[in-house]
Structure 1
C-alpha cells in the first residue's frame, strides 16, 4: 500500500481501539486530548515498517541521510518486507517505545513525537507538492511546531504512546497483507502471508475506495472516541 494509505489506516485503527485499550497498558482512561494526539502519532507510526525501503516516505525526509539510513535498515533486516514487516517488529517497536519513555523520559518522548509527526505530515501530503526543499523543510517545521505545541499536553511518560506505535505498525502490516506480495508475519520463518485484495499498489481499489472509506471512517470513529455521547439523565 502507499504511504498515504498506511497513515490513514493507522489513524483509523487507533481511533477505533482507543476506547477499548486495557487500563493496565495506558494507565487510565484516555481523554479527548490523548485520543487526538494518539490518532495523529499512530498515523506516523504506520510508516515505520518501510524504514527498510530506500524510496519510502521516511527515506525522502532528510535526503541522502535518511535514504542511507533506510538502506542500512533494509540491509540489516534482510531487504524490503522482511523483518520490519513481522509481528516481531510490532513487539520491538512497542517495547522499544516503552523502554525509551521509561528510561530516557521527556527528551525521548518529544523526539519520537517530532519524528512521528513528520512522517504523518509527509504521508498525508500536508506540504507543498513537488520535489524541492519545501517538501522536507515544510513537514519538518510543521512537525517541530506540533511537537512544541504538544509539549504542554504530553506527560513525561505517556503510557498510551507505545500502544500508538504498536498499533501503527500493526496497521501497516494489515495493509500490506492485502497486497499480492504479502508479508512474512512470523519472520524469521520465510513464508509470506497474503489476502490479495489489492493487486497493485496505488490501484483504483486502494485510491478510490479504501482510502476515502478509511478517511471518512476515521473522522466518524474519532468523534465518538474523543467525545463520547453523554446520555441525558432520565
Structure 2
C-alpha cells in the first residue's frame, strides 16, 4: 500500500496546511511533501517496506531497531485477549501515540533548529514520497518554489530569500505534517482486512492492541484491484485538486468545455 499511503499523506497535507496558517506554495508543498513521506514511516517495522530500504543499511538498521522495540512493547503491554504475535509489523509504529510522539519531536526540531531543521525534515519526507510516487513529486515541489518566487521576486538572490521565508513560516508546524502523515497511514491500514491497532494502549474487549477496521464487506486486501483501480486513482485526483488554486482552474476549464460543447450542438 505504499503508493496509496503516500498519496493519502499528500492529500492530507494539502488539506491541513491552510488550517495551520500556511498559505503560499512555498509553505504548502513542503508541508504536503512531508506528510506524503511520513505516511510511509510506520512501515519501518517491515524489512521490505520502501522506508526500510530507502537508504540501504542505514534505514535497514533503523528498521531492525524499530521491529525489536515494537516486539518488546507488544509483549510488555498486550492484553489477555491479544493474539499470540511477534508484535513487530503494524504495532508500535502504527499507533496514534507514535504519530504524536514523532510529531512532537519534529516540532521541537523545527522550532529550535529553524529553517535548516525544517528543510531536513521536509527533505526526508520528499525523498520518501518520491521513492514511492516517482519524480513528479520533485517536479511539483520545484514548480511550487518557482511559482512563489516568480510571483513575488525576480530570479536570483531573491529566490533563495523567498524559499527561506517559506521554510521559516512552516517552523514548528512541520511536526503537524509528520504526525498527520503517520496517522493517515494508520487510517489507511484500518480499511484493510487486518486492521490497525492505532488506539493503543486503550483496552478494548480485553485487547490492548485491538485492530480498528470497518465491517467485513467494506474491507479490502492490500495491493488488491480495489486499491489499484479505485483508491489510488481517487487519491491522485484529489491530490491534484487540493493544490492551491487548482479547483477554480478546474471549474473554469469545465465551464469553458461545457460552453464549447453547447455551442457545437447548437450549430446546424
Does TM-score exceed 0.5, indicating one fold?
A: yes
> How far did 1:110 drift?
2.4
- Classify 1:30/1:203 alpha carbon distance in 2 versus 1 (closer, same or farther; 3 Å): same
Q: Does 1:192 align with 2:215?
A: no
**Structure with the larger helix share:** 2
> How far did 1:68 drift?
2.0
Partner residue in 1 for 2:74 = none
Partner residue in 2 for 1:216 = 237
Moved more, 201-210 or 50-59: 50-59
Partner residue in 2 for 1:72 = 65
The partner residue of 1:174 within 187, 192, 199 is 187
- Classify 1:43/1:13 alpha carbon distance in 2 versus 1 (closer, same or farther; 3 Å): same
Which structure has the bigger radius of gyration? Answer: 2
Q: How far apart, in 2, do the equivalents of 1:17 and 1:60 lie?
A: 29
Partner residue in 1 for 2:223 = 202
- Classify 1:170/1:227 alpha carbon distance in 2 versus 1 (closer, same or farther; 3 Å): farther
Partner residue in 1 for 2:133 = 124
- Classify 1:228/1:177 alpha carbon distance in 2 versus 1 (closer, same or farther; 3 Å): same
Q: Does 1:8 align with 2:27?
A: no
Q: Does 1:63 align with 2:56?
A: yes
Unaligned runs of 5+ in 2: 72-87, 146-159, 202-207, 251-268
Partner residue in 2 for 1:87 = 96
Contact preservation (8 Å) 1:55, 1:67? no
| Structure 1 residues 28-62: Cα deviation after superposition (integer angstroms, max 9, x where no partner) | 45323212221222111111111211111111112
Mapping of residues 97-176 of structure 1, within 5 Å: 97-126=106-135, 151=164, 153-155=166-168, 158-176=171-189
Q: How far apart, in 2, do the equivalents of 1:54 and 1:177 lie?
A: 21
Q: Does 1:37 align with 2:30?
A: yes
TM-score (norm 2): 0.68
Q: How far apart, in 2, do the equivalents of 1:152 and 1:122 lie?
A: 27
Moved more, 169-178 or 179-188: 179-188
Contact preservation (8 Å) 1:83, 1:89? yes
Unaligned runs of 5+ in 1: 128-138, 230-234
| Structure 1 residues 8-29: Cα deviation after superposition (integer angstroms, max 9, x where no partner) | 001111222333x2xxxx4x45
Find the residue that maps to 2:223 and give its secondary structure: coil
The count of corresponding residues between Structure 1 and Structure 2 is: 206
- Classify 1:225/1:41 alpha carbon distance in 2 versus 1 (closer, same or farther; 3 Å): farther
